[in-house]
Amino acid sequence: MITVRVALGDRGYDVVVGHGARSELAAMVPTTARRAAIVTQAGVPLDVDPGVPAERFVIGEGEEHKSLATIESLSRGFAEIGLTRNDIVVSVGGGMVSDVAGFAAASWHRGVAVIHVTTTLVGMVDAAVGGKTGVNLPEGKNLVGAFWQPSGVICDLDALATLPPRELRCGRGEIAKYHFLTGDDLLAMDDEHRIARCVQIKADIVAADEREGGQRALLNYGHTLAHALEIATEYRVAHGEAVAVGLVYAAQLAHRLGRISAERVQHHYEVVGGAYELPTTLPEGLDPAELVALMGRDKKVLAGGLTFVLDGPNGVELVNDVPAEAALGALADVGSTA
């Protein structure tokens, strides 16, 4: 197994990656904890033992359950079992579960410890690490939430064998993002080292910019359009698939703004569509103006215009005040599935 440290001083924590890593859970539970609230979903493949008495809370599947109503339901459940500030919340599932359970933990008694046992590739390489928690509103994705670092994260690779092909493909969308942030040949690594390397990349960025004041926004490369696509398709397009299209869209937009060459755009297509075998075109039937409006609600947006993470001569960076005309034109450059 490989352990990656998220270096945040006295709030730092370990991310354990490997087969059977869930055996490390009890050692991560704070000594003050007398009980655990396990937040999961029906059908999640891993059983866990936190080493203290535990109550299981099953939340709904689908983005419609990533909501304030679910936070209220969990909070009332925590009250019923008498969960105290000294106890522990354990999430067991994918990125939606860690987002919801993390926000519930951040809110309960103004903050109770949480450990994420992540069972999907997206959760392992992205969602469970870094302390960003939240839920959706009809107006946008992840608009309500909190920064709440976990006490530890477990990436048990045994869970990957249970995932359907589409779920694994979604994880590759996030891994492709890291390719453009570092240039690392992640596909040349085995699963354990690939996932650990993605965790290390994110851990380094989080340690330098925990609350997304600058550098951490780079982790949203490809995500501005991705979140808009998820909302516009009512989540029929899965997150990793949307990120893949968002990456090539960001390249087209950067090219329109004179930031990168046509050859660099082609490299995005070769990586995303070729090496990672992910979609590179928009689903048909979407309204480009609606997508631009949705991108304008993104949480990175500042007053004065659209904000994107874009490639450029200095690498990937945050770019403010992008003209709506350029954003609309780049959608046409990406094109849609025939």
Catalogue the active-site residues.
110, 132, 174, 202, 212, 216, 220, 223, 227, 239
CA dist 129 and 15 (Å) reads: 8
Residue 57, SS3 per DSSP: strand
CA dist 254 and 316 (Å) reads: 10
For 74-104, give the DSSP string: HHHHHHHHT--TTSEEEEEESHHHHHHHHHH
The amino acid occupying position 82 is: G
- Joined together, the tokens standing for residue 34 give 């007398």
104, 89 in Cβ contact below 8 A? yes
The amino acid occupying position 11 is: R
CA dist 229 and 233 (Å) reads: 6
CA dist 6 and 239 (Å) reads: 24
For residue 106, count other CB atoms closer than 10 A to its CB.
Answer: 21
Taking every pair of C-alpha atoms in the chain, what is the biggest distance, in angstroms? Answer: 59
CA dist 11 and 6 (Å) reads: 9
- Joined together, the tokens standing for residue 195 give 């996932």
What one-character DSSP code corresponds to residue 221? T
Residue 320, SS3 per DSSP: strand
Orientation of helix 239-256 relative to helix 165-182, angle to 10°: 30
